[in-house]
Amino acid sequence: MRTRFLLALLLSALPSCTFAGAGYERRGNSITISVPGGWVKIEWITTGAFRFCRGWERPTGCPDLADREPVAFTDRDELGSVELRSRELAVRIEKATGRVAVATAEGVTLLEEAGVAQRTGSGAAVRFRISPSEKFQGLGMRDGPVFLHAARVTTRWPFLLSNRGYGIYFPAPGEHEFDLGASASGILEARAQDGRRMEYFFYQGGSAKEVLEEHFAASSQVERLNAHDIRIVPPSEWPAEAAPIGSFAPPSWTALRATVRALINGSLSAALLPAWDLAPWRNAPAGLHRRATQLAVFLPLLGDSTQPKAHPAHPLLDAASVALRARLTPFLLTYTLEAHDRGFPVIHPLLMQFPDDAQGASLEDEFFFGDEILVAPALDATNRRKVYLPMGQWTDLWSNATYKGKQTIEIEAPEHAPALLVKNGSLIPLAAERAGEPMEVHYFPALGGEFFLAEEGMWQPTQFHASPAGDYYRLETESKKDRDYEWIVHHMARPSKVAEGDDVYLEVGDRTMLANGCWYYDAAQRNLHVRQQACAGADQVINIAF
């Protein structure tokens, strides 16, 4: 009787804990199990993600993640194992060894430890059974193929994406060694330098974006960037979250192609804010230097590790790249804010935008800038290149030429910039070319689209919406600031009327004559230009009739 009373008293003093069996403790979002030679801990982050810790000493040395919302899951003590279930995952821990197996809620096995996680000298290692045909992406800013299979990689960026719809991240400091089925088919081995415990995060998402969101939920946020932050500074002034691209020196076309591959692989490794030290490219041959600086336009963080005043005749960015970066700044700040809010990288590999497009997923020489702009940098001296276009209708931003998707085209790369192609339904805001001119908002019908423009310092979005609506088109602006806009609607027939409410806009005969409340039709390009004065806080709709 006294024993039962003391046990009841102990449990009442620990309301957040339950004990479901010998050596098995549930506390909040975590389960800790005593196993021979140590302990195993599973901590839920969301219903589709958890953290695994395996240690060999007491106390556990694996404190709970801070500031976590409760996650709904069940635990069941079975013969020989403990099973944990959330809405999306089923995790089984073998009590005799601590080995873990992960399956979907429907019972499809995703990952299974092939052996007990163990110390290896001063480090730690774990082996997993994987599908023999399974391929992975990620593992840092590396020069190599997007998909890894039967490969060995050493990296300081130990984040893996599987083509089976999950991700794994190993947070221990230092280098990690990965054997992705190279030594034994169907076996993934990970080795960490830190041997205090074996720790990894598992994310089940389905698509790359969903896995990245799960990873972001478990990690700390990146900084918000302002226009001031995207100037060229010494790398020592980059924020802590910067993901530097390694040097593929000396500068050459081969090194430039390697840099693009590193950007793509880094983005698939959750490198949200890529950073590039341009100093080694300063004295590259003129054509190579121009193409390198054009690539730099799309990176949020640029560095100069030399003294700029010592090289007045060799600027890091040519004039055309400086101008293009300035025009793209609102777009760039919007996607650095998305990195802060959702954990998506600024550079989007085709795999992120079109996960079901097998041909585009493996490409190593083109990428999306945000969701809307397909960037095809010139990577050799010929000024021509092939570009693969995913599904949809595409517009060359420079020539206004249109192309059907699901094909590879060959185009002339402009001298002043990379080839930029935009899918129909996209909206692209561009800063004014000159002071006093309006911000441009490019719309590519016929699909409807929207864009949420991050307003620097306010972090509340100006919203743009555009779509067909029966026999007319709607252009809607919800501006957070008083600002003039020039809507440019591509590939449109000449309208008969442009109006905002009862105010009928006036047609002018030349773009230079555009003023607020006027429109101009460029018959040669088939583009409609509409100049609008927007008031902060107002919802303003322009209707275009034919």
pLDDT (tens digit per residue) in 170-229: 999 999 999 999 999 999 999 999 888 999 999 998 899 999 999 998 886 788 888 888
Q: Is residue 8 part of a domain?
A: no
Residues 477, 405: one domain?
no
Residues 141, 160: one domain?
yes
Alpha carbon separation from 43 to 31, 54, 163, 366, 448 (Å, rounded): 6, 12, 24, 38, 42
Which band of pLDDT confidence, cut at 50, 70 and 90, is reported for residue 312?
Answer: low
Residues 197, 301: one domain?
no
Quote the distance between the C-alpha of residue 397 and its chain's center. Answer: 23
Residues 396, 528: one domain?
no
Q: Is residue 368 part of a domain?
A: yes
Residue 265: pLDDT over 70: yes
- 292-302 tens-digit pLDDT: 999 999 999 99
Residue 428: pLDDT over 80: yes
Q: Is residue 438 part of a domain?
A: yes
Q: Is residue 78 part of a domain?
A: yes
Residues 528, 453: one domain?
yes
Residue 315: pLDDT over 80: no
- 384-408 tens-digit pLDDT: 999 999 999 999 999 999 999 999 9
Alpha carbon separation from 459 to 247, 393, 453, 455, 456 (Å, rounded): 34, 32, 9, 5, 6
pLDDT for position 7: 37
- 500-517 tens-digit pLDDT: 999 999 999 999 999 999
Tokens of 70: 């409760």
Residue 92: pLDDT over 90: yes
Q: Is residue 1 part of a domain?
A: no
* Residue ranges making up the domain that contains 489: 427-545
Residue 17: pLDDT over 60: no
Residues 370, 391: one domain?
yes
Residues 170, 195: one domain?
yes
Residues 333, 458: one domain?
no
Q: Is residue 6 part of a domain?
A: no
For residues 268 and 353, give the distance between their C-alpha atoms in angstroms, rounded to a whole number.
Answer: 12
Residue 253: pLDDT over 70: yes
Average pLDDT of 458-467?
93
For residues 233 and 302, give the distance between their C-alpha atoms in angstroms, rounded to a whole number.
Answer: 7
Residue 286: pLDDT over 80: yes
Last residue of a domain, one of 419, 436, 457: 419
Q: Up-side HSE of residue 158: CA atoms within 13 Å toward CB?
A: 24
Residue 524: pLDDT over 60: yes
Residues 107, 179: one domain?
yes
- Count up the domains in the chain and report the number: 3
Residues 349, 313: one domain?
yes
Q: Is residue 5 part of a domain?
A: no
Residue 3: pLDDT over 70: no
For residues 344 and 336, give the distance between their C-alpha atoms in angstroms, rounded to a whole number.
Answer: 9
- 98-141 tens-digit pLDDT: 999 999 999 999 999 998 899 988 899 999 999 989 999 999 99
Number of neighbouring beta carbons within 10 Å of residue 204:
26
Q: What order do you get walking across the sheet with 347-348 strand by strand?
A: 347-348, 367-369, 373-376, 419-423, 393-396, 402-404
Residue 6: pLDDT over 50: no
Residue 243: pLDDT over 80: yes
Last residue of a domain, one of 196, 218, 240: 218
Residues 205, 285: one domain?
no
Q: Is residue 9 part of a domain?
A: no
Residue 90: pLDDT over 90: yes
Domain with residue 479: its CATH number is 2.60.40.1180
Question: What does the DSSP 8-state code read for residue 492?
Answer: -
pLDDT for position 308: 59
pLDDT for position 48: 95
Domain with residue 140: its CATH number is 2.60.40.1760
Last residue of a domain, one of 391, 419, 447: 419
Tell me the pLDDT of the chain averaged across its residues.
91
Ordered alpha helix ranges (H), 172-227: 208-218
pLDDT for position 31: 94
Residues 373, 441: one domain?
no
pLDDT for position 314: 62
